[in-house]
Structure 1
Amino acid sequence: MGSSDPPADGPSLERLAAVFRVYEARREGDRLLYYGEPLVARDRLMETTWPLFRERGYEVQLTTDTGEYVLVAEPADTGIDGIPWTNVALFVLTILSTLWAGASWYHVDLVENPMGVLEAWPFMAAVVGVLLTHELGHYVMTRYHDVNASLPYFIPLPLSIIGTMGAVIRMKGQMPDRKALFDIGVAGPLAGLVATVVVTAIGLSLPPETVPQSLVNNPNAIQLEFGYPPLLELIAWALGEQTTYGPGQSVSPVVIGGWVGMFVTFLNLIPVGQLDGGHILRAMFGEQQERIAALVPVALFGLAAYVFYVENVSNASILWAFWGLLATYVAYVGPADPIDEAGLDPRRKAVGVLTFALGVLCFTPVPIEILAGA
């Protein structure tokens, strides 16, 4: 048995007394353990105790141990310990995989000219740039709100048309309040959209890519037809540039990098679970977010049916059906739960509405259509 006196670097029993009656406290390695009896509901308990432990440099959670309630406090770690080799390795592999995928956009024959893969660097820079900016937007806000999170993990996928499945950061700390949840959730899409607009404008200003005549005349060639969202068309209109060309020419592959940024932004802003949109909606509407999230899979399955029966595009229908299944799972897992449930200020709510509006501008019902050769 341990002492009823708390460890020297933990909060005093007097500060916990109103919400948690402690009958044993001890240190176990670098953890602090407070055994006792909750005097209030769990949400109220965590709202009161979390800041008391956080000011001492600890993250705390309420658990049970053989039927006993215990507050388990572990050192809060919001810094980077050494070189994150896994993140670095995945980032390098993603650069290589996007170069590999980009070579096809520049029609480089890698069998005859392996070093020609370097010609795809503008495509690689566009895709990796928008994804990195999006994730760093999240990461900067986690640092600002002192929430423990990892650096971005990139996901290389060399056999895909863009060479990657995107990137994620892993949240390891508890969310202190709805303000922090909102700021972290909204920072990624907004930062990514800034990079996306810049990349798209640069890509539209570049000369079109010439398609080899052998591909134009090949009846068995597979053609990819991209559906451009309203935001991309709006940027093209503002610059006086075109988005479609005749046979033998296509937009610069850098424009595809901007398209990727818009597509990723829309997907992340789907308002469900722990997607960015789910974070934003949870922060804006509290627990009412779950009612809205329950409708999201239905909407996505409906979109899949519309694309299949009205647009007659099966591959896009499969895409939205997949996201309907994913949204069902994400909604089941549930959103992030902040410690403090105090509502947002009007300015943040306005930013949230604007962010969702920008997300709508990134939507197109048929993002990509695969047209097989005759």
Structure 2
Amino acid sequence: MPPTDFPSMEPHRNGWHPHWSPPPKPLRQRPNYHTHIVLFLMTMATTVVAGMVWEGVHPIEQIHEFHRGLPYALTLLTILFFHEMGHYLTARYYGMDVSLPYFLPAPPPLLIGTFGAFIRMRSPARNRRALLYVGAAGPIAGFCVALPAMIYAYTTASVVPVTPSPGSFSLAEPLLLQFIGRAILGPIQEGYAIHLNSVGLAAWFGIFVTVLNLLPMGQLDGGHIIYAIVGPYARYVSWAVVCLLMVLGFFFLGWFLWAVLGWLTSRRPQVVLDPYTPLDRRSFMIAGIALAIFVLCFMPVPISIGELAGS
């Protein structure tokens, strides 16, 4: 059952004593369904266009073949939907006031098709345990969709010769995908690479988004998790991660952007109504699952330019 009480302090003749009382119910705002639906439809359109481009279909001249962009769009949006609904349902379970997911379209030339999705947390977590569960629920839920999609993509993948050319790129394989790929396709000879279909490409982006969210810094999901575990000391973890990303930025420029994002969001303090309730064994188990996903899927150089795309 979700917690129903949180501590406050009340005067006593011998001093101030902790007192447990029911938390005030957050004032829930009525969802603006129109905004959520319009943003989702726009994101569906931009991801379908991205999927068409990945399939080699011109989104204007061959608009009648829009269905070829659907596998990519539906896979990526399903991963993002489960990620955000993991946060949403867990937050509602713990009595928090949160918005429905906002999907963010990204029109061409950004070939991913979306900037992701987010929910607004309009009330703080009741305690560190709730904060940890809310932070971890999204990445774990999204990963549970991305992993089967990636396994399916490997079963339909082909092994092709590497032919570097200007403008081409390759996607890194984290430890988990290396294991899955070798288990399904066997050892890959030097000079060859795995060519994934659009479902695999969307699943790869979904896994990468999961890793980014699990970075233990600032207001990211990983930042919430690490704060739930170590409390105020989480700021030092955030700064260490920011410094590490600055170093990795010399190998992949995108890490510089995430280092800046981590630094900016680390300046905003975490707010928990009850920072004293200790974590239980289940909480550490959930944190361990999130850590395992992060370690097995982290890629120091996720994208390399000038090589054959592994997608």
Q: In which range does the TM-score fall when normalised by the shorter chain?
A: 0.7 to 0.9
Cα distance in 1 for partners of 2:188, 2:209 equals: 20
User: Mapping of 1:193-342 within 5 angstroms?
Assistant: 193-208=143-158, 222-240=167-185, 250-305=195-250, 307=251, 316=252, 318-342=253-277
Cα distance in 2 for partners of 1:282, 1:233 equals: 31
CA deviation profile, 1:254-299 (whole Å, cap 9, x unmatched) = 1111111111111111111211001111111122212222211111
Deviation of 1:89 (Å): 0.9
Does structure 2 retain, via aligned residues, the 8 Å contact 1:181–1:280? yes
Cα distance in 1 for partners of 2:290, 2:23 equals: 34
RMSD: 3.1
Does structure 2 retain, via aligned residues, the 8 Å contact 1:274–1:336? no
Cα distance in 2 for partners of 1:189, 1:109 equals: 33
> Kindly tell me: are residues 289 and 111 of structure 1, through their superposed partners in 2, closer, same or farther at Cα, counting changes over 3 Å?
closer
Deviation of 1:234 (Å): 2.0
Between the aligned residues of both structures, percent identity stands at 30
User: Mapping of 1:29-108 within 5 angstroms?
Assistant: 51-52=21-22, 54=24, 57=25, 59=26, 76-77=27-28, 81=30, 84-108=33-57
RCO (CA 8 Å, sep 6+): is it higher in 1 or 2? Answer: 2
CA radius of gyration, larger in: 1
The count of aligned residue pairs is 297
Cα distance in 2 for partners of 1:272, 1:231 equals: 23
CA deviation profile, 1:94-130 (whole Å, cap 9, x unmatched) = 1100000111111012343112122111111111111
Asked if 1:118 corresponds to 2:67, the answer is yes
> Kindly tell me: are residues 286 and 327 of structure 1, through their superposed partners in 2, closer, same or farther at Cα, counting changes over 3 Å?
same
Cα distance in 2 for partners of 1:242, 1:327 equals: 38
User: Mapping of 1:363-374 within 5 angstroms?
Assistant: 363-371=298-306
CA deviation profile, 1:212-265 (whole Å, cap 9, x unmatched) = xxxx89x6x521211122222222233346889989993111111111111111
Structure 1 residues not aligned, in runs of 5+: 1-15, 21-38, 60-75, 211-215, 308-315
Asked if 1:346 corresponds to 2:272, the answer is no
In the alignment, which residue of structure 1 is the partner of 2:132?
182
Deviation of 1:320 (Å): 0.9
Q: What is the SS of the residue equivalent to 1:139?
A: helix
CA deviation profile, 1:42-68 (whole Å, cap 9, x unmatched) = xx9xx858x4452xx3x4xxxxxxxxx
Asked if 1:18 corresponds to 2:10, the answer is yes
Q: TM-score, normalized by length of structure 1?
A: 0.71
Deviation of 1:354 (Å): 2.8
Does structure 2 retain, via aligned residues, the 8 Å contact 1:286–1:341? no
Asked if 1:356 corresponds to 2:291, the answer is yes
Q: What is the SS of the residue equivalent to 1:18?
A: strand
Cα distance in 1 for partners of 2:207, 2:228 equals: 23
In the alignment, which residue of structure 2 is the partner of 1:172?
122
Q: What is the SS of the residue equivalent to 1:225?
A: strand
Deviation of 1:336 (Å): 3.5
Deviation of 1:197 (Å): 0.5
Q: What is the SS of the residue equivalent to 1:107?
A: coil
* Letter of the structure 2 residue corresponding to residue 352 of structure 1: A
Q: What is the SS of the residue equivalent to 1:295?
A: helix
> Kindly tell me: are residues 225 and 239 of structure 1, through their superposed partners in 2, closer, same or farther at Cα, counting changes over 3 Å?
same
* Letter of the structure 2 residue corresponding to residue 334 of structure 1: P
Cα distance in 2 for partners of 1:343, 1:360 equals: 25
> Kindly tell me: are residues 245 and 127 of structure 1, through their superposed partners in 2, closer, same or farther at Cα, counting changes over 3 Å?
farther
In the alignment, which residue of structure 2 is the partner of 1:161?
111
Structure 2 residues not aligned, in runs of 5+: 1-7
Cα distance in 1 for partners of 2:197, 2:299 equals: 20
Does structure 1 retain, via aligned residues, the 8 Å contact 2:182–2:188? no
Q: What is the SS of the residue equivalent to 1:148?
A: coil
> Kindly tell me: are residues 270 and 143 of structure 1, through their superposed partners in 2, closer, same or farther at Cα, counting changes over 3 Å?
same
Deviation of 1:323 (Å): 1.1
Deviation of 1:360 (Å): 1.5
Does structure 2 retain, via aligned residues, the 8 Å contact 1:142–1:149? yes
Cα distance in 2 for partners of 1:336, 1:231 equals: 34
